[in-house]
Amino acid sequence: MASHDSPPTDPFEQVLSTLTHVALSFFIAWRRALSSGYRRVRAVALWIAGRVAGWAGQWGRVIRYFTTPASERIHEDADASRAAAFGVRAFAFGLLASGSITIATGGTSRAAVATLAVELAWAAGRFAICAALVPVTTLPRSRLALAYLTGLVPFALGLTAPLRIAALAASALLTAREFHAAGPDAGTVRTAVGWAFGGQALVVVFGFVLRGGLAALTGS
């Protein structure tokens, strides 16, 4: 009988559990930084630095995984799991660093938490769309989850809103690469990634246009 502490085996539960862990890590970091001014920013920075130090030990193997053509990869299952874990840490780092920058530049903790919630929701939504559009017969859900989480790596650099848009584009390219390497045909990959990432991009652009229009009307 499986232990109650055993990790979820369903891919949807795995991704949800992973994203939930990222959210909990964010709030733990915030609770450790409940002092004011410099001490608060310094505490968050030290927490992030500690996580990055442990994370950096895996960079060599992960970089080799990304730079090796799929046909030449050895021990792909173990390396894919390691790359997916790296992607999750990159995503978490980007969120934490973005929140720290928001606070350090005069923003509120509420704004930082709102950004966290939005990015987590988008990440979950993109995965759900990909899972719906990639047939399970061409890519098992566990492998799809690993490929998707690997594609989160560019979000490590999503420190500001413009950088998050650039990270979204880079993530789309990396996710498409990982999906294609895992088995689905190019048409299926383009459809899934296009709807998941392109849909978010269109919503973001529409939001910018709408806010700009409202600002212009208000100011006129």
Domain range summary for the chain, segments of one domain joined by +: 11-219
Determine the average pLDDT of the residues in 68-73.
Answer: 70
Question: How many whole angstroms separate alpha carbon 70 and alpha carbon 103?
Answer: 41
pLDDT over 60 at 171, yes or no: yes
Contacts of 187 (CB under 8 A, 6+ apart): none
The pTM of the whole model exceeds 0.85: no
Work out the number of other CB atoms within 10 angstroms of the CB of residue 68.
13
pLDDT digits (tens, 9 = 90+) for 22-70: 666 666 666 665 545 556 666 667 776 776 666 666 667 777 777 777 6
Residue 205 confidence class, pLDDT cut points 50, 70, 90? confident
Ranking 46-50, 119-123, 147-151, 213-217 by mean pLDDT, the lowest is: 46-50
Determine the average pLDDT of the residues in 123-135.
Answer: 94
Determine the average pLDDT of the residues in 66-91.
Answer: 78
